[in-house]
Structure 1
Amino acid sequence: MITSTMPKRVQILKHKFSTSIGLPFKELLPEAAIIEIISELKIKYRCRLFDPIVTLWAFLSQVLDADKSCRNAVSRIIAHLVGEGVELPSTDTSAYCQARIRLPEKFLEKLFYKVALGLEEKVIEEYLWCGREVKVLDGSNVSMPDTLSNQKEYPQHKNQSCGCGFPIAKIGVLFNIATGAVIALVIDVFNTHDIQLARKLYEFLKPGDVLLGDRAYECICGFS
């Protein structure tokens, strides 16, 4: 049986994280798990306050926080350090912003999959449909900062005049309906068809999975 309380639980957790003090993701995403991936990817970093671990914890909180400013993210780090008996850093946000930029995309991607798979392993029988896992396929569009590199990689819509629009990308995601976690994500230029993105996600399905999607994916032969 698939529960219908998932959205409510997500909202409760989101509210809890956004109203908490300090770095709540420290408990959910232990330092050891992050270091394991850093070691796998052989990522080198200096021993400083804004290392990949603290920066990631702050970044995740920033995404869910009602106040998404970098200043608020730094304030969370300071609140976290108050009880640690160490010298508190400046409230200046430049070091944090630079550290966030330094987070390797591959590092985030690896961590992303590790968390999703870990949640799947904990799914019990009652959350399956007829004993099968249900995976949901969906797509959307996202805009991003108007930089030369973004415009080159993800050009704005052709109907927009040069300098009057933002780079736009098409994303496709596959998530587990039982855990609510995204299993895989692909990104391409704006005019990419949903079926093209879906083909890239097919490799993340397992034998026996049930795939659920809207009418954009009605051509099931697209997965052959």
Structure 2
Amino acid sequence: MHYVINKLKSQIEKQKATLLDDEGSLSIESLLSSDKFQSIINNCRSFRSRFYTPFVTLILFIRQVLSPDKSCKNTVATFLASVSTEDNNNIPSSNTRPYCKARQKLPIETLESLVKLSGDSLSKSSNARWKIYNREVKLIDGTSLTMADSEENQSRYPQHDAQKAGAGFPIMRLVAIMSLTTGGIIDYAVGAYKGKGTGEHALLRQIKDSIHKDDIVMGDRYFPCFFVMGDLQSIGADGIFKAHSQRKYDFRKGRKLGSKNHLVIWKKPHKPDWMTQETYDSYPDQMTVREFKIKGEVYVTTFQDHKKYNKVALANHYKQRWHIEINFNSLKTIMSMDHLRSKTPDMVHKEIAVHFLAYNLIRTLIAEACRNTERLPIQVSFKGVIQLFNSFVSLLSFSADCNKAHAILLHAIIKNKVGNRPGRTLRAMEC
């Protein structure tokens, strides 16, 4: 058993030196062997199982969520096959119980830290050519997930009101910040689908520290309120949003910048019940924002220089927002995350974190493959890369010539281009 673990780690260390170029491009191997990653893993308390160490359990958990057969039985069988090459009889049982117990012992704080580490590493390693105005673009949006119908899940995440008692699944709301340049998940928050403090704005406030100076934020028309725009301006970030349908927009007022294009003053609304007086007082009494209309749609933005950032260009950039909808679809449909199998909230949270970590590792592969080519990461088929990864994973872990297998994999990834769909319209783009 130790032979297999040591061989896997040695392959990672072996590839690390060859896969990092002068510009510091990122690979899965360099991420898994990074000091930060190993430090987080080492903080896990030791497991009694001599086979399912924290490192091995995490790797198997990642492979499980990426596999077409996501059962624990298949995961253990795959692990058993990988250790069958050892010369001794010291191999694990085919019983899934030890693996399931080891998964339960993985600290959720560790998994969440690894998601943020992988997303942050992806963001920092992104190519300047992939960016807009040479700045990192972060997409924000929310979605919902269902989970196994158990008393614990129902208590924490009650089913939708429209469903009859006993005839629905527990449901949660999730808000994520994703990178447009790499597609990676930077941060996320979850909460109940209904109730006080469970809306998308409330969840976004929990993770707003992951938005930094010079970031460009894009979201649907639900997000551009006074406090969100104020938060962006206070840290030196910018935002582009479609305008909320309930707000009135009169282009006869304000400072005119052109046709259907002006700067206006937004006044601070009354203090919301959830906000402390100290936080409320930290916002200015008013702020200047830019509003413009193009092709019947009104947009609001913090980009006030209309000469440097013309409205046609901003509206075209905003069209890229729909990639977060596609990314959610990749997670929920391709990775089958739309319905989580775990029967306790604690394991549901771990299942989400490992899905996101696995997703970021696939995005890392895509970014690595695209780095020295003309291909953009958002032009690569996510499903195609998962299929390639599942086909190559054994070679990458145990092949004597894993570098050659890795090079072939990267070349194949570049060939998995998303089809050209000019003028494609999605319902999500209307938001």
TM-score (norm 2): 0.43
Contact 2:44 2:107 in 1 (8 A): no
- Equivalent pairs, count: 199
Cα shift readout 1:137-177 (whole Å, capped 9, x = no counterpart) = 11100111222222221111123232222211000000111
1:102 and 2:105 aligned? yes
- Per-residue deviation, 1:219: 3.2
User: Is 1:79 aligned to residue 78 of structure 2?
Assistant: no
Name the CA distance, whole Å, in 1 between partners of 2:151 and 2:193. 16
Pick from 203, 213, 221: which aligns with 2:219?
213
Can you list the C-alpha shifts for 1:32-88, whole angstroms capped at 9, x where unaligned?
66541133x453333511121111111111111111111111122123223444533
TM-superposition CA deviations, 1:64-115 (whole Å, max 9, x none): 1111111111122123223444533222211111111221111101111111
Q: Secondary structure at the match of 2:94?
A: coil
Corresponding residue for residue 14 of structure 1: none
C-alpha distance in 2, partners of 1:208/1:131? 10
- 2:104 aligns to what SS in structure 1? helix
Residue 19 of structure 1 is matched in structure 2 by none
CA-CA distance at 1:217 after TM superposition: 2.1
Report if aligned partners of 1:198, 1:223 keep a CA contact under 8 Å in 2.
no
Say if 1:63 and 1:194 are closer, same or farther in 2 by CA, change over 3 A. same
Which position in structure 2 is the counterpart of 1:15?
A: none
1:197 paired residue among 179, 199, 203:
203
Aligned to 1:70: 72
Structure 1 residues 148 and 211, CA gap change in structure 2 (3 angstroms):
same
Q: Which amino acid aligns with 2:116?
A: Y
Aligned residues of 2:44 and 2:54 also touching (Cα < 8 A): no
Paired residue secondary structure (1:129) = coil
Q: Is the 8 A contact 1:199 1:223 kept in 2?
A: no
In the other structure, the counterpart of 1:158 is 161
How far apart, CA to CA, are the structure 1 residues paired with 2:218 and 2:161? 32
Matches within 5 A, 1:125-164: 125-164=128-167
Matched, 1:170 2:173: yes
User: Is the 1:157–1:168 Cα contact (8 Å) retained in structure 2?
Assistant: yes
Match of 2:308 in 1: none
Equivalent-residue separation in structure 1 for 2:77 and 2:218 (angstroms): 41
**Rounded Cα–Cα distance in structure 1 between residues aligned with 2:142 and 2:114:** 22
- Bigger mean CA offset, 154-163 vs 91-100: 154-163
Separation in 2, partners of 1:153, 1:43: 27
Residue type of the alignment partner of 1:91: S
CA gap 1:222/1:95 in 2 versus in 1, 3 angstroms: same
- Alpha-carbon distance in structure 2 between the residues aligned to 1:77 and 1:33: 26
Larger Rg: 2
- Structure 2 distance, partners of 1:112, 1:171, is 15
After superposition, give the CA deviation of every residue in 1:175-219 in whole Å (9 maximum; x if it has no partner).
Answer: 111121101010011023222222222211011100011223243
TM-score, with normalisation over the residues of structure 1?
0.79
Counterpart residue identity of residue 38, structure 1? I
Identity of aligned residues (%): 33
Q: State whether residues 34 and 111 of structure 1, in contact with CA within 8 Å, keep that contact through their aligned partners in structure 2.
A: yes
| Whole-Å separation in 2 of the counterparts to 1:119 and 1:213 | 21
User: What root-mean-square deviation, in Å, do the aligned CA atoms of Structure 1 and Structure 2 show?
Assistant: 2.3
Question: Aligned partners of 1:193, 1:214: CA distance in 2, in Å?
Answer: 14
* Cα 1:31–1:203 shift into 2, 3 Å: closer
CA distance in 2, matches of 1:220, 1:88: 60
C-alpha change, 1:185 and 1:84, in structure 2 (3 Å) is: farther
Whole-angstrom CA distance in 1 between matches of 2:35 and 2:228: 41
- 5+ residue gaps, structure 2, are 1-7, 13-27, 231-431
Would the aligned equivalents of 1:141 and 1:168 in 2 still touch at CA under 8 Å? yes
